Chain A
Amino acid sequence: MSPSPALVVENLRKTYGNGVQALKGIHLTVQPGDFFALLGPNGAGKSTLIGILSSLVNSTEGDARIFGVSVNKQRNEAMKLIGLVPQEINFNQFEKPFDICVNEAGFYGIPRKIAAERAEKYLKELRLWEKAQDQARMLSGGMKRRLMIARAMMNEPRLLILDEPTAGVDIEIRRSMWQFISGINAAGTTVILTTHYLEEAEQLCRNIAIIDHGTIVENTSMKLLLSKLDVETFVFDVNNMPERLPNLPGITFRRIDDHTLEAEMPRTQAMNALFDALTTHGITVISMRNKTNRLEELFVRLVENGRQETGRQDSKEKVA
Chain B
Amino acid sequence: MAYIARRFGVSLFIIYVVITISFFLIRLMPGNAVDFLYFQLLASHTVSPQQALQQVQSLYGVNMKEPLLLQYVQYIWNMIHGSLGNSILYPGTSVLHILMNALPWTILIVSTSLIISFFIGISIGTLIAYFRKSKFAVLVSTIMTVLSAIPNYIVAIILLYLLADIHHIFPTGGAYSPEVAPGWNIPFLFSVARHAALPVIVFIITQVGGWSLGMKSSVVSALGEEYITSAHSHGIGSRRIIQSYVGRNAILPLVTSLGLSIGFMVGGSVFIETLFNYPGIGFFLITAVNGRDYPLMMGAFIIVTSAVVLANFLTDLINQRLDPRTMQK
The answer to whether A and B come from one shared complex is no
Question: Which B residues are within 8 Å of any A CB, using their own CB?
Answer: none
Question: Which A residues are within 8 Å of any B CB, using their own CB?
Answer: none
